[in-house]
């Protein structure tokens, strides 16, 4: 049961962005309207899909002050919290890299089809990172599950071959994948909060630092750091940390004003949202709005949208108390990693068995394609709720 002091709007917005992520990822963009998908790298503009991921990054940052404050309250030391941050970040990086490479499997060289390799990888992830109930009473059983998951992952890594010249056909970090980007953003943001706690101004300085990095990187003024790009490219580029830290700034403001029962939360968030939107369009004079190129104009506009959407949800849910409408979203928001990964297991099972489940994708009617993907996304939210009932829920 959720705590009566829990800010439900955080779970709901997290669930909403995940639902939209599942929807846009499932769309057949050869048929669906262009504005629902991602724009090309060189196109100056954005579609719905270009906001969804930064919207999720924003809420990752916004949740950090509340999550870490619980650890402070129960007496965790800075060393304990640092270990938690590093473990969680590294876990996200590992899963992100494995997901990124799952599409590079060469069946002949690996000895496993792409779908089978990916399916085994997801099963191993669930075995290794599942939040098992009654852990103390079942320590040996759970250790067996985790060791099995680890053994499968090690086997898959050693078996992996892409047939490409890059890294001799082995795994690559590339752009780290979606979860890897979240891992880097969380790492910076969580340590920023550990260092600055609830200081709005110090947090703002961290936001501006990574915004400046993003601008300098977009202007190609940081080429002297190119040798570090394969390892620290996400940080040097600045964009992902900038967005997650902007969410942290929102969380710090919300936490301080909520504790004081301050009625200025809504106008402050609206002002910040409008400021980010205006700033983004001003930056457009020098940088096109491009998700693929991670431009500062795109990041700033996405932050503006996130501020405004979040405060609307906060007003509806946490102030007005109207939360029944979001009941089906809550499990997805509370178990976000499970929601994101479980559909991938189904995709690979469907592709392996050729089951005619995704037939709506073959339609030439945009309405059918969109309706099918909406039903898929909602069904995946329901799948998460079902899995949680059976104690299948990932926790890093």
pLDDT of residue 135: 84
Tell me the mean pLDDT in the region 285-310: 97
Candidate from 29-33, 260-264, 361-365 with smallest mean pLDDT: 260-264
pLDDT of residue 176: 94
Mean pLDDT, the chain, whole residue set:
94
Give dist(CA 290, CA 292) in Å, integer: 6
The model's confidence at residue 5, banded by pLDDT at 50, 70 and 90, is: low
pLDDT of residue 261: 62
Tell me the mean pLDDT in the region 171-190: 96
All residues at 6 or more sequence positions from 261 whose CB lies less than 8 Å from its CB, including other chains: none
The model's confidence at residue 298, banded by pLDDT at 50, 70 and 90, is: very high
The model's confidence at residue 2, banded by pLDDT at 50, 70 and 90, is: very low
Tell me the mean pLDDT in the region 286-303: 96
The model's confidence at residue 142, banded by pLDDT at 50, 70 and 90, is: very high
The model's confidence at residue 183, banded by pLDDT at 50, 70 and 90, is: very high
All residues at 6 or more sequence positions from 9 whose CB lies less than 8 Å from its CB, including other chains: 310, 313, 314, 316, 317, 318
Give the CA distances from residue 64 to residues 57, 189, 255, in Å, rounded to whole numbers and listed in that order: 11, 8, 11
pLDDT of residue 262: 58
Give burial (CB, 10 Å; 0-12/13-18/19+) of 377.
buried
The structure tokens 């932050």 sit at 303
Number of helices followed by number of strands (H, E) in the chain: 15, 0
The model's confidence at residue 259, banded by pLDDT at 50, 70 and 90, is: low
Give dist(CA 173, CA 143) in Å, integer: 28
The model's confidence at residue 396, banded by pLDDT at 50, 70 and 90, is: confident
- Residue 377: how many CA atoms within 13 Å on its side-chain side? 20
All residues at 6 or more sequence positions from 119 whose CB lies less than 8 Å from its CB, including other chains: 345, 348, 349, 352
The model's confidence at residue 260, banded by pLDDT at 50, 70 and 90, is: low
Give the CA distances from residue 296 to residues 217, 236, 286, 299, 350, in Å, rounded to whole numbers and listed in that order: 10, 13, 10, 5, 39
Task: Give the bridge partners for 394, in sequence order.
Answer: 130
pLDDT of residue 1: 37
Tell me the mean pLDDT in the region 44-59: 96
Instruction: Judge whether residue 80 has pLDDT over 90.
Output: yes
């Amino acid at each position: 049961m959720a705590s009566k002091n829990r800010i439900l709007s955080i779970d709901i917005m997290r669930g909403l962005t995940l639902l939209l992520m599942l929807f846009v990822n499932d769309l057949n963009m050869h048929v669906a309207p262009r504005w629902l998908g991602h724009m090309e790298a060189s196109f100056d503009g954005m579609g719905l899909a270009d906001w969804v991921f930064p919207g999720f990054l924003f809420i990752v940052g916004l949740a950090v002050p509340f999550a870490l404050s619980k650890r402070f309250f129960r007496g965790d030391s800075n060393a304990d919290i640092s270990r938690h941050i590093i473990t969680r970040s590294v876990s996200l990086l590992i899963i992100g890299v494995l997901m990124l490479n799952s599409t590079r499997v060469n069946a002949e060289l690996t000895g496993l089809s792409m779908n089978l390799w990916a399916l085994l990888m997801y099963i191993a992830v669930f075995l290794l990172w599942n939040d098992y109930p009654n852990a103390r009473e079942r320590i040996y059983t759970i250790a067996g599950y985790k060791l099995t998951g680890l053994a499968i992952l090690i086997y898959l890594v050693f078996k992996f071959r892409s047939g490409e010249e890059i890294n001799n056909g082995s795994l690559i970090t590339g752009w780290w994948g979606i979860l890897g980007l979240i891992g880097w953003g969380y790492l910076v943001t969580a340590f920023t909060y550990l260092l600055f706690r609830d200081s709005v101004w110090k947090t703002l300085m961290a936001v501006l630092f990574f915004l400046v990095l993003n601008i300098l990187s977009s202007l190609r003024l940081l080429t002297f750091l190119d040798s570090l790009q394969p390892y620290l490219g996400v940080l040097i580029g600045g964009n992902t940390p900038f967005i997650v830290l902007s969410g942290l700034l929102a969380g710090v403001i919300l936490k301080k004003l909520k504790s004081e029962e301050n009625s200025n939360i809504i106008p402050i968030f609206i002002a910040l949202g409008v400021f980010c939107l205006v700033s983004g369009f001003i930056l457009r004079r020098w940088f096109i709005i491009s998700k693929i190129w991670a431009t500062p104009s795109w990041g700033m506009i996405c932050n503006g949208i996130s501020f405004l959407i979040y405060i609307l949800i906060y007003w509806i849910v946490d102030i007005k108390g109207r939360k029944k409408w979001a009941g089906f979203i809550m499990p997805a928001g509370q178990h976000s990693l499970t929601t994101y990964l479980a559909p991938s297991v189904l995709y690979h099972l469907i592709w392996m068995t050729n089951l005619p489940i995704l037939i709506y994708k073959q339609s030439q009617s945009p309405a059918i394609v969109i309706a099918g993907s909406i039903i898929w996304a909602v069904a995946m939210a329901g799948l998460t709720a079902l899995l949680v009932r059976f104690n299948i829920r990932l926790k890093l």
